[in-house]
Structure formats: C-alpha cells, structure tokens
Amino acid sequence: MHELSIAENILEIVESYRRERNFTRCSSITLRLGLLSAVDEESLRFAFEALTEGGPYAQAALKVQRTYPKATCSCGRSFEVRDFCYACPECGSVTAELTGGDDLNIVQLEVD
C-alpha cells in the first residue's frame, strides 16, 4: 500500500548520493526486497516509473533482488520460505522459526 512513498524514498536517497558523488547519470538502482517486507514489487515498479517519467532518472533501471526467510523447524530441518503459507518438507509443521527475508534496502547504484 505504501509503494509510492517507498519509491519517493528511493529517489531521495539516489539524489543524496548524486549530490555527494556528483554523477550525471544513474543507469540502475538495485534493491533488496524481502518476502516479509510487505512491499509489492509490481506496485513499486509502477510507482517508480510514474515518478521518474520525463525526469533525470527516467532511464534508471530498477533491479530487484528478492530475498526469502530461512525457516528452522523444531525437527531440525532448515528450508527457505517462498510463501506466507508454508510447511516443513520433513515433518509438515507450520510453526518454524523464521529469520531474515525482511530486507527493504538499496544496495547498489550504477552511475556515470
């Protein structure tokens, strides 16, 4: 639901690096987006395109690295969680301990 303001925040951060590093063109922005971040990638791309259209970042590609939580089950099995509804492939338990997968970061800019 707040993808628009997250897209605004991306541009604020890129702009602050532009002032600091004095680059003229940004060709790509890489984000890390976790399953648990509650951000919808498609909505974020839509918002980003709407905000950058016709502006200095119109050519910047938004690259998204998806991350997923790691589940550690009480039976000892560890596995990656790809969906909110999951079950341990070993014992079927749905109450594993989840770690990670909540990233919402900018990790890299490619600039000239």
Tokens read off for 43: 């909505």
10 contacts 107 by C-beta, under 8 angstroms: no
User: Closest distance between other proteins and the C-beta of residue 91, in Å?
Assistant: 14
Identify residues 81-100 at the interface with other proteins (CB under 8 A): 84-85, 87, 94-98
User: With respect to other proteins, which residue has the nearer C-beta, 6 or 66?
Assistant: 6
Angle at Cα 41 formed by Cα 65 and Cα 111, nearest 5°? 55
Residues that bind other proteins (CB under 8 A): 1-2, 5-6, 8-10, 13, 17, 21, 23, 27, 31, 36, 38, 84-85, 87, 94-98, 104-112
